[in-house]
């Protein structure tokens, strides 16, 4: 995944080295998650089993593995290392307020040097979760919410946009761009 960082409008410090390291660690996640998802989905379709339409689960597992390998602690999209807290979200847009509140809370209670919230760009979320992308927290929604908090919050906050790296095998790229309607139960031959 490609991560582009943006400071909250009230914050002027540079990103910590730890935050930049997290961005670098995430660079291989999209390819690994997409290959894992494609393999799992293909196997389930072949076995006439219910196949996943969205790839959030695979993406979350791959992110957690990479973050833990890089020395971060945590899980479920929340990670901490060397005074830097990071939230990577693929949740419903109604959770955006709780993510921002969590960021403020760890600043106040855990004395974090910097906090960050990463969310997928809307166009990319269509590949990640074609049936639910409109209701997920997108970077665009996150950016609007953070801009609206100018003068309300004063935490050391970065936000990050997540999007695909253009390095997928062509057959996987093509598969991800196909319609993936929900299937409820077994596929009938």
How far is it, in rounded angstroms, from Cα 19 to Cα 99? Answer: 17
Range with the poorest average pLDDT among 27-31, 47-51, 119-123: 47-51
DSSP-assigned letters across all residues of 81-122: ETTEEEEEE-SBGGGHHHHHHHHHHHHHHH--SEEEEEEE-H
| Neighbour-count burial for 41-60, b at 16+ CB within 10 Å, e otherwise | beebeeeeeebbebbbebbb
Q: What is the pLDDT of residue 36?
A: 92
Q: Going from the N-terminus, what domains does the chain have, and what CATH number goes with each?
A: 2-176 (3.40.91.20)
> Is 67:59 a contact under the CB 8 Å cutoff?
no
Q: What is the pLDDT of residue 183?
A: 58
Rg of the chain over all Cα atoms, to the nearest angstrom: 17
How far is it, in rounded angstroms, from Cα 127 to Cα 43? Answer: 19
Mean confidence (pLDDT) of the chain: 90
For the entire predicted model, the pTM comes to 0.90
Tell me the mean pLDDT in the region 87-102.
92
């Amino acid at each position: 995944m490609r991560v582009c960082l943006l400071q909250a409008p009230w914050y002027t410090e540079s990103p910590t080295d730890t935050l930049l390291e997290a961005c670098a660690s995430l660079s291989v996640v999209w390819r690994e998650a997409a290959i894992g998802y494609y393999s799992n989905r293909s196997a389930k379709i072949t076995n006439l089993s219910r196949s996943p339409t969205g790839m959030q689960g695979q993406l979350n597992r791959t992110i957690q593995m990479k973050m833990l390998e890089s020395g971060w602690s945590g899980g479920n999209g929340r990670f901490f290392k060397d005074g830097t807290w990071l939230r990577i979200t693929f949740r419903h847009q109604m959770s955006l307020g709780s993510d921002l509140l969590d960021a403020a809370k760890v600043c106040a209670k855990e004395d974090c040097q910097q906090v960050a919230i990463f969310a997928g760009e809307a166009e990319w979320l269509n590949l990640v979760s074609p049936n639910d992308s409109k209701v997920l927290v997108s970077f665009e929604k996150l950016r609007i919410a953070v801009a609206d908090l100018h003068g309300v919050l004063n935490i050391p906050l970065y936000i990050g946009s997540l999007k695909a790296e253009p390095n997928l095998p062509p057959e996987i790229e093509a598969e991800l761009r196909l319609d993936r309607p929900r299937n409820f139960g077994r596929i009938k031959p």
